[in-house]
Structures are given as C-alpha cells and as structure tokens.
C-alpha cells in the first residue's frame, strides 16, 4: 500500500500549530487512526456483551430486556449522526472530533457509576449519541482526500482494522471482568481507550476540510445538503440497503449472547465464536481492498449481495430444522458476515461519492438513515429471539432481498457497473 503524505495546498485549512513541525500524516497512519476511532464505537457495543448476564443479575433485569444496553446505544448513535456533520463542514473535522471524544469519555465514566438499569440505559443512550461524531466523521475525512474506487479501497482497509475490535472486544470485556470482578470496569476501559485516541488525534491529525468547501451553519443550507444526500436516486438505494443488511447484523449482535449461550449451550465459548465471525468479516474487507480498484465497487458488492441471499436461504433452511447445531450455525453466520465485508464499505463509498463538497453533512445524513434504521431493525430482530436461530435467519434473507430491490432502483435495473476512478 502506498504511504502518501499530505501537504498544505491553497484550498486547505492550515495545519494547527501543534502539528506544524511534525511530519505530515501518511496514508497508513490515517487508515489506522480512522479505523480505531470508529472502533471506539464498536468497542462500546461489543465489550459489554459477555457482561450482560452479570449486569442483569446485578441490576435485577430479566429476559430480553438486557439487550437494551446495546440497543439504546445503537439507536442513539444513529440519531446522533445528524448532528456532527454539518458543524464539521463549517468549523472543521478536528474540533467536532474532540467534542465527540470528550463526551464519550465522560459518559463512559457515568455508565460505570450507574446504580440502576434505567440510569444505565439512559447513560448508554447519551454515550451513543455523543459517539456519533467518531462514526460519522472518518468517512468524511477520507472523502476530503480521495474518491471513486480508491475511497472504497481505503474504507475497506479501515474496516479490516475496525473489525479486529469486535473480534477481540468480547474477550477484552471477559478479561476485564475476570481481572477486576465487576462489569463496571469495562466502561472504565472504554474511557481509557478514548483518552488515548484523543491524544493521537490532537498530535497527528491535520484539518482536512478544504477552505473552499466550508458551509454555513444555517438551517436551510443544512437541510438542503442533507436532503440531497439521502434523496439522490443513484445513492439512496445503497444507503437504505446498508441499513437493511446491517440491521440483520445488529440483530445478531443483540441476540448473540443468548443465541450462542442458550440455544446452542456454548456460553463459555461465546467470545471465541464471536471473534471468529468478526475475523471473517475483517478478512473479507482486506480481500475487498485488494480487488475493488480493479473490478469496481459495484461489481464486487453486487456479486456479494447475490451470494449473501443464497447463504441466507441455506441458513434459514437449517434454522428451521429442530436439531440445528452450532456446527451449521457458525459457518453460515461467518460466511454471511464475510460477505458483508464486500458490501458495507463499497455501499458506503458509492453513496458518498457525489458529495465531496458537503462530505460532512452527507456522511451525517446517510449515517443517520443507516444507523437508526439498522439499529431499530436490529432491536426488533434481537427481541424476536425465541430460543432458536430462526428469526435471525429469516431476517437476514428478507433484508438481503429488499436490499437487492433498493440497489436495482438506484442503478435503474442495471447491475455490475464499471470501476470509478479517483476524482482528485
């Protein structure tokens, strides 16, 4: 991978004085930084999964209600994505990132100190809302620099690193519980990770917003920019499609601890099984980064979507059998999560491609639609857990078929389009 450096040009905001004497950030470091920023959000979701049983006992919660600790965070993150993009288009990416990181730290500590389930869910919702900045801004920062299938390649590499965190987060959470004996320390670990990222961003990330692309913070331009980002026919199908397929993924995340621990009786191996599935998705993103510029984001993601539908159909067949075992569920779930690695980054890049001049607002608007719809759908799927994998399998198939319909709408019925070159 090329290790390009950035230098100031006439259209860019000047580098902060704290960065003036340092070497420009290279492509590799940028990818790692953006990936780990987004991974803070994933860590906020997945590290707490092994603690749901202990948390439920400690706070007196029964049944599926424990899932709200995850669902509230996901839904609030989706709602929160409406906020940071427009401010980042006006004031720059760095200031908004610092506000998001600071709030993430504060409310992580608040969650650690919560004394009731209701308070914990409320704090998790605020934490998720504030985490929206670390979800919405990395794609905008990348779009500031590159476009076309090159952006899809970089986003795929970001997702490779980003997905390593879900792969190991449950194990980290389990380790924290074993080390300190209390699930509350997991939230302390979240705060510590965010502090490290704040320092890294402060010392190494230059402002990427071009001076010529600054937007006004007025309601009418903001609404106009966001509306255009989610109504353009050539991109709306990819935004809605992402929401659907990732809604299925969120449904798995919400119910995974119960599904693997209760339905298949493999609770002790939950962190390992979850890590296998997430690692497969990371490997697929790495593979996507190697091929997407050659074949194009559309060709790769469309092919993966068709295979996803086929695997989901097989998954539903086995889930409908009375004796489904872990040995069929895990390979099929891992296969579909792998296919998401060829869909997610490519869909996101295609959807953001026309909006370089309003990348922050576009990323926020599309992220809002993607996250809120996906989180709400994931909560419904997770809450439909009935002791089997059938509701999840049915949801994966239905969402994939609907996604194909949305993509066909955006592409006017023509799939497998050619590669798109970088526009910089």
pLDDT in tens, 172-185: 888 998 899 889 99
User: What is the pLDDT of the chain when averaged over all its residues?
Assistant: 83
Residues 6+ apart with CB under 8 A from 386: none
Paired tokens of 11: 């259209």
Number of domains in the chain: 1
Per-residue pLDDT, 207? 87
User: Does 15 fall in a domain?
Assistant: no
What CATH number does the domain containing 112 carry?
A: 1.20.1250.20
**Residue 174 in domain:** yes
Q: Evaluate whether residue 255 is within a structural domain.
A: yes
pTM: 0.68
Q: How many angstroms separate the CA atoms of 233 and 238, rounded?
A: 9
| Domain ranges, residue 148 | 24-202+222-410
Is the residue at 19 inside a domain? no
Q: What is the DSSP string of 204-246?
A: HPPP--BGGG-----HHHHHHHHHHHHH-HHHHHHHHHHHHHH
CB environment 159-184: b (16+ within 10 A), e (fewer)? bbbbbbbbbbbbbbbbbbbeeeeebb
pLDDT in tens, 34-66: 989 988 988 888 888 888 888 888 888 876 777
* 424 in a structural domain: no
Q: Which range scores top for mean pLDDT: 153-162, 257-266, 304-313, 353-362?
A: 304-313
């Amino acid at each position: 991978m090329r290790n390009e450096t950035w230098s100031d040009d006439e259209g860019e905001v000047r580098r902060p004085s704290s960065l003036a004497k340092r070497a420009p950030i290279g492509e590799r470091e940028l990818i790692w930084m953006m990936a780990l920023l987004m991974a803070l959000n994933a860590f906020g979701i997945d590290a707490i999964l092994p603690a749901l049983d202990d948390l439920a006992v400690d706070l007196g919660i029964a049944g599926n209600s424990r899932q709200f600790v995850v669902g509230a965070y996901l839904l609030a993150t989706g709602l929160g994505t409406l906020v940071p993009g427009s401010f980042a288009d006006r004031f720059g990416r760095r200031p908004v990132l610092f506000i998001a990181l600071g709030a993430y730290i504060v409310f992580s500590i608040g969650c650690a100190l919560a004394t009731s389930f209701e308070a914990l869910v409320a704090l998790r919702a605020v934490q998720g809302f504030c985490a929206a900045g670390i979800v919405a801004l990395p794609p905008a920062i990348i779009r500031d620099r590159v476009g076309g299938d090159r952006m899809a390649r970089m986003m795929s590499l970001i997702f490779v690193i980003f997905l390593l965190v879900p792969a190991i987060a449950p194990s980290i959470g389990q380790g924290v519980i074993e080390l300190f004996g209390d699930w509350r320390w997991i939230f302390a670990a979240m705060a510590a990770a965010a502090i490290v990222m704040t320092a890294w961003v402060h010392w190494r990330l230059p402002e990427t917003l071009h001076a010529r692309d600054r937007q006004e913070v007025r309601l009418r331009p903001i609404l106009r920019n966001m509306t255009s980002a989610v109504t353009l026919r050539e991109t709306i199908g990819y935004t809605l499609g992402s929401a659907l397929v990732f809604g299925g993924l969120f449904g798995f995340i919400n119910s995974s601890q119960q599904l693997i621990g209760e339905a298949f009786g493999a609770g002790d191996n939950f962190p390992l099984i979850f890590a296998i599935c997430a690692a497969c998705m990371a490997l697929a993103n790495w593979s996507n980064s190697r091929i997407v510029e050659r074949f194009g984001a559309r060709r790769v993601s469309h092919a993966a979507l068709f295979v996803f539908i086929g695997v989901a159909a097989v998954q539903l067949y086995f889930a409908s059998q009375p004796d489904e075992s872990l040995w069929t569920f895990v390979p099929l779930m891992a296969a579909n999560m792998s296919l998401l690695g060829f869909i997610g980054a490519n869909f996101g890049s295609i959807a953001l491609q026309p909006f370089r001049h309003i990348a922050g607002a576009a990323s926020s608007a599309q992220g809002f639609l993607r996250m809120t719809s996906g989180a709400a759908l994931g909560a419904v799927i997770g809450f439909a857990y009935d002791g089997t994998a059938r509701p999840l399998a049915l949801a994966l198939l239905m969402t994939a078929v609907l996604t194909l319909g949305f993509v066909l709408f955006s592409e006017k019925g023509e799939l497998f389009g050619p590669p798109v070159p970088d526009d910089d």
